[in-house]
A and B are shown apart, each in its own frame.
Chain A
Amino acid sequence: MELLDFARGPALDFAMLVFVLGVTWRLVGVLLLPRLRDRSAPREGAPPRLVGALRAIVRRMWPRKEFIQVTLFSTINSYVFHLGLAIVVFGLAAHIVFIHDLFGLSWPSLPSDLVFGVGVITLAALVAALVRRLTHPVLRLLSGPSDYLSWLLTTLPVLTGLLATAQIGARYETLLAAHILSIAAFLIWFPFGKLMHAFLFAFSRGATGMRFSHRGVKV
Chain B
Amino acid sequence: MSPAVTPSTTAGFDRQGERTDDDRVDAAMRSFVREFGVTAALHMESCVHCGMCAEACHFHVATGQAKYTPAYKLEPFRRAYLREVGPFAPLVRAFGLVKKLRVDELQQWQELIYDSCTMCGRCTMVCPMGIDIAELVKEARHGMFKAGLIPERLALMDRAAQEWGSPATPAEDLPDILAEVSEEHGVPIPCDLPQADILVTAAPAELGDHTKALADAAKILNRIGVKWTMHQGGFDASNIGFNNGDLQLQERLTRAIIDTAVKIGAKTILLPECGHAYGAARWEAAKWYGQALPVRIIHMTEFLDELIAEQRIRVKPIADTATFHDPCQIVRRGGLEAAARRVLAALGFELIELQDHGLTGYCCGGGGGVVSNQRATPLRHKVFEMKKAQVEATGAQRFVTSCGQCRITLEMGAKHAHWDKKTESLLELVADNLAD
Please determine whether chains A and B interact with each other in the same assembly: yes
Query: Which single residue of chain A is at the shortest CB-CB distance from B135?
Result: A211
B418 at the A interface (CB under 8 A): no
**B286 and A39 within 8 A (CB):** yes
Interface string of A71-109 (1 = CB under 8 A from B): 100110010000000000000000000000000000000
Of residues 102 through 142 on chain A, the ones whose CB sits less than 8 Å from some CB of chain B are 136-142
Residue numbers of A with Cβ under 8 A of B are: 25-26, 28-36, 38-41, 43, 56-57, 60, 63-64, 66-67, 70-71, 74-75, 78, 136-143, 147, 192, 194, 196-197, 200-201, 203-209, 211-212, 215-219
Provide the residues of chain B in CB contact with A29, threshold 8 Å: 86-88
B311 at the A interface (CB under 8 A): no
**A208 and B131 within 8 A (CB):** yes
Given contacts A71-B52, A200-B42, contact A205 B87 (CB under 8 A): no
Query: Which single residue of chain A is at the shortest CB-CB distance from B69?
Result: A138
Provide the residues of chain A in CB contact with B286, threshold 8 Å: 38-41
Provide the residues of chain B in CB contact with A36, threshold 8 Å: 37-39, 287
Residue numbers of B with Cβ under 8 A of A are: 36-39, 41-43, 45-52, 54-56, 60, 66-67, 69, 71-72, 85-88, 124-132, 135, 282-287, 289-293, 296, 332-336, 356, 359-360
**A63 and B128 within 8 A (CB):** yes
Provide the residues of chain A in CB contact with B283, threshold 8 Å: 38, 40, 215
Provide the residues of chain B in CB contact with A211, threshold 8 Å: 39, 132, 135
What is the bound-complex CA distance between A25 and B86, given in angstroms? 11
Provide the residues of chain B in CB contact with A200, threshold 8 Å: 42, 45-46, 129
What is the bound-complex CA distance between A194 and B47, given in angstroms? 7
Query: Which single residue of chain B is at the shortest CB-CB distance from A140?
Result: B66
**B293 and A30 within 8 A (CB):** no
Provide the residues of chain B in CB contact with A216, threshold 8 Å: 335-336
**A39 and B289 within 8 A (CB):** yes
What is the bound-complex CA distance between A200 and B144, given in angstroms? 28
**B130 and A215 within 8 A (CB):** no
What is the bound-complex CA distance between A43 and B302, given in angstroms? 11
Of the A-B pairs whose beta carbons lie under 8 Å apart in the complex, a sample of 6, sorted by A's number, is A40-B284, A70-B55, A70-B56, A136-B51, A142-B71, A219-B125
Which 6 A-B residue pairs are closest in the complex by CB-CB distance?
A29-B87, A205-B130, A216-B335, A204-B46, A39-B286, A70-B55
**A40 and B282 within 8 A (CB):** yes
What is the bound-complex CA distance between A201 and B131, given in angstroms? 9
List 11 additional contacts besides A40-B284, A75-B128, A204-B45; criterion CB under 8 Å: A25-B88, A29-B87, A39-B287, A40-B293, A57-B130, A60-B127, A137-B66, A143-B49, A194-B47, A203-B42, A217-B333
Provide the residues of chain B in CB contact with A147, threshold 8 Å: 49
| Shortest distance from the beta carbon of B87 to any chain A beta carbon, whole Å | 3
What is the bound-complex CA distance between A60 and B293, given in angstroms? 32
**A204 and B293 within 8 A (CB):** no
| Shortest distance from the beta carbon of A171 to any chain B beta carbon, whole Å | 37
Contact of A67 among B52, B131, B291 (CB under 8 A): B52
| Shortest distance from the beta carbon of B426 to any chain A beta carbon, whole Å | 18
Provide the residues of chain A in CB contact with B289, threshold 8 Å: 39
Provide the residues of chain A in CB contact with B126, threshold 8 Å: 63-64, 67, 71
